[in-house]
């Protein structure tokens, strides 16, 4: 690629990144809102339905399950129809999911609430592809920075979402209905942003074009395999702990507002590092940044085990956010360097299917560990933090294996 072409490509990439940052900030606030109240609303509805409180976080699990099962076909749709069309599909899913969620809360129907949560997962899946869309028109040098900047858009959603929860939780007679009504409006307005995107569709493959590797062949690629494992672990552990945090905070005698503040601090910590994560990856390499992220995630678990005061919750969740940022963005950057353009739909869909499959399990396990692994909130919170250990060991071992291999490829 010539210097001129690089400049032209990056000019287009920067414009697309600006739009995706805005979408991440505005549309992404609904996910922050729903993750703050999802477990509390699920606990409210489960109790009303006479169900065990072990199922309190099942609505959040359904959101992530919706994202997992949506990722393969939505990625394929984007490969054929383009990013803009796929992002419209995501916003419509979020809108319909919020409509159903609000109605289910108003009539106290736990099972209908799960349906709405699943449809919200369609938006979450589409949002997950923002980071890949940022890389589509970027040069090799700008790619990690583009991914990082788009992820940084979550900084604004981290501020907007929890604050909206505070003002909408009791806006209606039934708690949390107002929050879902605001989420409906966010999707309707936010989808207009996608008209400004200019990301070309991938070229149609001709008979003589190189064929994409099969999923099995892709998973035999060491870089792809380890990138998926590290992204899976970073995201799953972040979700495991974050999902149970509002339950733990309220269960330890603090208010819903305090839980919102802690989640807000956590999401800020998830996205503030994004302003420099891409530069760190460009300078030190994705592998070192992923390793640092795994270490910080481990420190979050240690802090969580040392006490249940507000300071412990705040520090643990801040470390959790920073660790996720380094681990997940590092893994995304490493993955984006390991496949050809004609393979992007298959690789990205497979990656998000695996990643969000594990996140689904983590979010479901979060409620079980929190409410059903001991007699108190403290015992449940302890179980959640101990559960991080084997997954951190898995990701660490995979990364060490990759580093020890002969360097016949770049990350």
pLDDT band for position 373 (50/70/90)? Answer: confident
Task: Using the CB atoms, write b or e for 86-107: b if 16+ within 10 Å.
Answer: bbbbbbbbbbbbbbbbbebbee
Cβ atoms of 345 and 202 within 8 Å: the answer is yes
Q: What's residue 44's pLDDT?
A: 84
- What is the three-class DSSP state of 405? coil
Predicted pLDDT of residue 131: 82
**Which of 96-100, 173-177, 402-406 has the highest average model confidence (pLDDT)?**
96-100
Whose tokens are 């400004």? That residue is 196
Is the confidence at residue 410, as pLDDT, over 70?
no
With beta carbons less than 8 A apart as the criterion, state whether 123 and 91 touch: yes
- Angle between helix 110-128 and 83-107 (nearest 10): 160
Average pLDDT over residues 207-218: 72
Asked whether 48 and 108 are in contact (CB, 8 A), the reply is yes
Say yes or no to pLDDT of 411 above 70.
no
pLDDT at 145 over 90: no
Mean pLDDT of 352-378: 83
269-276 average pLDDT score: 86
Who has greater pLDDT, 2 or 66? 66
Least confident of 170-174, 177-181, 293-297: 170-174
Q: What's the pLDDT score for residue 208?
A: 52
Distance of CA 213 to the CA centre of its chain: 26
Given CA atoms 249, 255, 261, 267 in this order, what sign does their dihedral have?
positive
pLDDT band of residue 305 (cuts 50, 70, 90) is very high
Helix (H, G, I), strand (E, B) or coil at 304: helix
61/385 Cα distance (integer angstroms): 18
* Cα–Cα distance, 8 to 251 (Å, whole number): 54
Structure tokens at 210: 């190189």
pLDDT averaged over the chain? Answer: 86
**What pLDDT is stored for residue 34 in this prediction?**
85
Structure confidence at residue 135 (pLDDT):
81
What angle, rounded to 10 degrees, do the helices at 256-271 and 222-251 form?
A: 160
Rounded to a whole number, what is the distance in angstroms from the first to the last CA of the chain?
Answer: 19
**pLDDT tens-place string over residues 59-116:** 888 998 898 899 889 988 988 888 999 999 999 999 999 999 999 999 999 999 999 9
Q: How far apart are CA 312 and CA 395, in angstroms?
A: 25
- How many CB atoms within 10 Å of residue 307? 15
How far is it, in rounded angstroms, from Cα 126 to Cα 123?
A: 5
Per-residue pLDDT averaged across 201-229, rounded? Answer: 78
What is d(CA 368, CA 227) in angstroms, rounded to the nearest whole number?
28
Helix/strand/coil (H/E/C) assignment for every residue in 327-379: HHHHHHHHHHCCCCHHHHHHHHHHHHHHHHHHHHHHHHHHHHHHHHCCCCHHH
- Compute the distance between CA of residue 197 and CA of residue 273 in angstroms, rounded to an integer: 25
Q: Please choose, from the candidates 185, 197, 201, the residue with its C-alpha nearest in 3D space to the C-alpha of residue 91.
A: 185
Alpha-carbon gap, residue 269 to 264, rounded angstroms:
9
pTM of the model: 0.75
> Tell me: the pLDDT tens digits for 322-364?
999 999 999 988 998 887 777 877 888 888 889 988 888 887 7
| Domains and their CATH numbers in the chain | 3-199+215-404 (1.20.1250.20)
- Has residue 52 got a pLDDT over 80? no
- CA distance readout (Å), 366 to 64, 82, 229, 234, 239: 13, 36, 20, 15, 8
Judged against a pLDDT cut of 50, whether residue 265 lies above it is answered with: yes
**311 pLDDT higher than 50:** yes
Tokens of 5: 């072409």
122 pLDDT band, cuts 50/70/90, is very high
- 141 SS3 class: coil
| Average pLDDT of the residues in 179-188 | 94
| Residue 210: band (very low, low, confident or very high) from pLDDT cuts 50, 70, 90 | low
pLDDT at 8 over 60: no
* pLDDT for 71: 85
CB atoms within 10 A of CB 268: 20
User: CA–CA separation, 43 vs 60, rounded Å?
Assistant: 11
Give the containing element (helix H, strand E) for 48: helix 29-48
> Is the predicted pLDDT of residue 36 greater than 80, yes or no?
no
Gap between the Cα atoms of 409 and 156, Å rounded:
36
With a cut of 80, say whether residue 383 has pLDDT above it.
yes
Tell me the pLDDT band of 9, cut-offs 50, 70 and 90: low
Average pLDDT over residues 251-259: 84
Q: Are 139 and 328 in contact (CB under 8 A)?
A: no
């Amino acid at each position: 690629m010539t210097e001129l072409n690089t400049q032209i490509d990056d000019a287009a990439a920067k414009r697309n990144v600006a739009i995706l940052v805005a979408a991440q900030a505005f549309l992404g606030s609904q996910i922050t809102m729903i993750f703050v109240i999802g477990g509390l609303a699920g606990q409210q509805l489960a109790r009303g339905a006479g169900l065990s409180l072990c199922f309190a976080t099942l609505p959040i699990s359904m959101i992530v399950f919706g994202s997992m099962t949506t990722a393969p076909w939505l990625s394929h749709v984007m490969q054929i129809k383009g990013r803009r069309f796929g992002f419209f599909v995501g916003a419509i899913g979020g809108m319909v999911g919020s409509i159903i969620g609000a109605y289910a809360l108003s009539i106290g129907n736990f099972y209908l609430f799960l349906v709405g949560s699943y449809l919200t997962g369609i938006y979450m899946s589409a949002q997950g592809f923002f980071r890949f869309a940022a890389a589509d028109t970027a040069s090799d040098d700008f790619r990690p920075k583009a991914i990082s900047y788009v992820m940084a858009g979550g900084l604004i959603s981290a501020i907007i979402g929890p604050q909206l929860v505070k003002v909408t939780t009791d806006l209606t007679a039934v708690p949390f209905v107002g929050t879902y009504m605001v989420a409906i409006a966010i999707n309707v307005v936010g989808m207009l942003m996608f008209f400004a995107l200019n990301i070309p569709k991938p070229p149609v493959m001709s008979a003589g074009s190189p064929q994409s590797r099969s999923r099995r062949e892709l998973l035999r690629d060491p870089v792809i395999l380890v990138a998926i494992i590290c992204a899976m672990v970073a995201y799953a552990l972040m979700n495991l702990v974050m999902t149970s945090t509002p339950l733990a905070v309220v269960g330890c005698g603090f208010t819903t507002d305090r839980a919102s503040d802690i989640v807000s601090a956590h999401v800020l910590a998830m996205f503030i590092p994004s302003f420099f994560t891409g530069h760190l990856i460009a300078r030190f390499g994705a592998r070192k940044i992923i390793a640092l992220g795994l270490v910080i995630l481990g420190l979050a678990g240690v802090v969580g085990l040392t006490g249940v005061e507000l300071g412990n919750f705040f520090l643990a969740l801040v470390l959790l956010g920073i660790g996720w940022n380094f681990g997940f963005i590092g893994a995304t950057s490493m993955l984006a360097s390991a496949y050809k353009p004609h393979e992007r739909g298959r690789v990205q869909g497979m990656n998000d299917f695996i990643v969000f499959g594990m996140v689904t399990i983590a979010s479901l396990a979060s409620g079980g560990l929190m409410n059903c692994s001991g007699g108190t909130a403290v015992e449940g919170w302890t179980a959640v933090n101990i559960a991080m250990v084997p997954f951190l060991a898995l990701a660490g071992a995979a990364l060490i294996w990759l580093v020890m291999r002969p360097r016949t490829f770049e990350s």
